[in-house]
């Protein structure tokens, strides 16, 4: 059986990649009038946090191969 937490980790990794990518794009092409708290780069920090948490869940709950042969 595969744990549901593995799939949640995969979704978090994908979301983290999307958010981080959008934040990096925002750093390369800044908005014309910068928003009030634009200097904090919240999208970048949250994207990286979600990416790390998703990687932890994905590695911790990844399906393991057993060394036994199941053809008994």
What predicted TM-score, i.e. pTM, was given to this entire model?
0.84
10 inside domain: yes
Is 17 among the domain residues? yes
* Residue 72: predicted pLDDT: 47
CA 2 to chain CA mean position, Å: 19
Say if 14 falls within a structural domain: yes
51 domain-assigned: yes
Question: Is 69 a member of any domain?
Answer: no
Domain that holds residue 18: 4-60
Give the integer Cα–Cα distance in Å for 71 and 29. Answer: 57
Pull the structure tokens for residue 15: 């979301």
24-52 average pLDDT score: 94
Structure confidence at residue 64 (pLDDT) = 87
CA angle 9/64/57 to nearest 5° reads 15
Measured CA distances, 44 to 1, 25, 28, 61, 64 (Å): 35, 10, 12, 26, 32
Domain assignment present for 66: no
**According to the model, what pLDDT value does residue 65 have?**
77
The answer to whether residue 21 is domain-embedded is yes
Domain count, the chain: 1
Other C-beta atoms closer than 10 Å to the C-beta of 18 total: 13
pLDDT band at 27 (very low <50, low <70, confident <90, very high): very high
């Amino acid at each position: 059986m595969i744990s549901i937490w593995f799939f949640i980790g995969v979704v978090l990794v994908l979301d983290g990649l999307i958010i981080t990518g959008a934040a990096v794009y925002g750093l390369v092409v800044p908005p014309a009038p910068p928003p009030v708290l634009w200097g904090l780069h919240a999208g970048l920090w949250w994207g990286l946090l979600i990416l790390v948490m998703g990687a932890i869940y994905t590695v911790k709950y990844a399906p393991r191969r057993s060394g036994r042969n199941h053809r008994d």
